[in-house]
Structure 1
Amino acid sequence: MMAKTHAPLSASIGGAFAFAYMQWETMSEAWSSSVGSFVNRASETMSAATSAMTWSQIAVSFIVVMSLGGYALAPDFDEPGATIVKKTGPVGALLSPVVRALAGGHRKGTHSVFAVLGLGVLGWYGAQNIVAWVLLAAFGCYLSVALVTGAKRWAVHVVAVVLVAIVACLAFSSVTPVLGAAIVGGGALLHDVEDMIAGRVKFLWPIPVSVGLNWITTDGPVENMVVRPVANVAVVAVLLGTVIVPTLFRAF
């Protein structure tokens, strides 16, 4: 899949998973106590979970949605023309050919389980230091926002990154290493799974076995007219349901 599909799709999945994980107990209780049709029970469950979000949980949800999509671009660092390489400027241009050579080509080493684990470890240790954590969250946000808004809208990039950095700093007391690993490694894992749907990758590299379904064509009509629009709507819905609405509940 293309970068403009990977980022929103991964961010929406990650944000929804984080919300469900944090509010699982509340959702279970609300579902058990609700009555009526499935739609009514689902509505009451989501309402209860949304209204029960704490400031800390809202902050975590915001960081996950804004940053995880950026790290979903990381596996494509083995491709010199990839979005993540372009968004990292001269550093990306210099390092990408080296990474590609070490990884054995495109969709091999950087798309492997070892790359996912390595990035997960990076996120794990990054979340244990406030400076590293803020940089980790801000960089992921930068990649996401720069992809969506384009390279020239630096004012938008700066505002988004500063906002995420402030939230990450304020939320650090409730951050765990697992969260850091989930944002960085989880973004890479979702990228791999999405590429497996669209094609085949060497997920077990260096074992020369390709894994994938080939259900859709990368940059084809299904991705462009179905998957990407759904992903864009989904990430807005997740941001609305896990950040904006809970913030209004807490504030008023």
Structure 2
Amino acid sequence: MMGRTHALSGALAWLAAVPVLAQDRLLHDYAVHLSAEQVLAGSVVCAGAAILPDIDHHNGRIANTFGPITHHMCKWIGKLSGGHRHATHSILFAGAMGWAMDALATHYVYAWWACLFMIVGLGLRGVGLDFEGREPQSALADCALAAIAVWLMHKIDMSFVGFAVTLGCLAHVAGDCLTPRGCPVFWPLPWRIDVPLIPRTDGKVERWVVAPLLSVGIAIMAVRSVLGDVTTRWLTKG
């Protein structure tokens, strides 16, 4: 699937998970009640993380996010991971990225901000906030917007970030499994899983069915999350 669809799927996956994370009867002491600010920050992180598995693609939109830096990074990661849709498109990669981001956010906050900068930049490029055919301008715009986003989020409690990153990566893998090529979900085992409900990447089904449905789902879940947070705050004050 295309970057835009992946980013939308990550945002929707996060918004759908938020009500589940708040279930005290289900999760007991592990339940997490997030503010509207945390929900929004988690959506941004999860949308960006839903692009991360494509960091193995040497010539995709992600590779051009921050110019030569991301281009060379994607090129070498692609070689080390076995090429596009190999190691980075797996449960192991998703879990490893979530663990790594959680460790950085907990113990190495400046390193985490640097990674957050990249994750947000990937998400912005994924949803199409760039200047088509103008890579220098797009890279500069991504840098500026990502820096603003990091500044706005740097004081928010991001203890949920490991889960958000893992969930975003898994949303990407699940989406690519719906295309004919599939993914090696259980890498390093060689088996690829594919349920080709989307016959062609960037085809009519993805553009006119999948992407609009994801957008509507995000709008519904976002309104629900915000209303729930406002209601909770009102009841607490009362």
- TM bucket normalised to smaller: 0.7 to 0.9
Could you tell which deviates more after superposition, 213-222 or 234-243? 234-243
Q: Matches of 2:231 and 2:64 in 1, distance apart?
A: 37
**What fraction of aligned residue pairs are identical, expressed as a percent?**
23
Number of residues paired by the alignment? 220
TM-score, normalized by length of structure 1? 0.74
Partner residue in 1 for 2:130:
150
Q: Matches of 2:52 and 2:161 in 1, distance apart?
A: 15
Indicate the structure (1 or 2) with the bigger Cα radius of gyration: 1
Secondary structure of the equivalent of 2:123?
Answer: helix
| Residue 208 (structure 1) aligned with residue 190 (structure 2) | yes
Distance change >3 Å, CA 146–CA 26, structure 1 → 2: farther
Q: 1:156, CA displacement in angstroms?
A: 8.2
Stretches of structure 2 that go unaligned for 5 or more consecutive residues are 27-31, 132-136
Q: Matches of 1:155 and 1:79 in 2, distance apart?
A: 21
Partner residue in 2 for 1:131:
110
Q: Matches of 1:108 and 1:167 in 2, distance apart?
A: 35
Q: Deviations over 1:114-171 (max 9, x none)?
A: 2112212211212204334444444322322233321447668735642x32443222
Distance change >3 Å, CA 238–CA 135, structure 1 → 2: farther
Partner residue in 1 for 2:90:
112
Partner residue in 2 for 1:191:
172
Q: Matches of 1:112 and 1:106 in 2, distance apart?
A: 12
What amino acid maps onto 2:144 in structure 1? V
Stretches of structure 1 that go unaligned for 5 or more consecutive residues are 28-52
Map 1:76-115; keep pairs closer than 5 Å.
Answer: 76-115=54-93
Partner residue in 2 for 1:44:
none
What amino acid maps onto 1:219 in structure 2? D
TM-score, normalized by length of structure 2? 0.78
Distance change >3 Å, CA 249–CA 81, structure 1 → 2: same
Q: Matches of 2:217 and 2:143 in 1, distance apart?
A: 22
Q: Matches of 2:88 and 2:141 in 1, distance apart?
A: 32
Partner residue in 2 for 1:168:
153
Partner residue in 1 for 2:9:
9
8 Å Cα contact 2:61-2:125 kept in structure 1:
no
Distance change >3 Å, CA 61–CA 137, structure 1 → 2: farther
What amino acid maps onto 2:83 in structure 1? G
Q: 1:75, CA displacement in angstroms?
A: 0.8
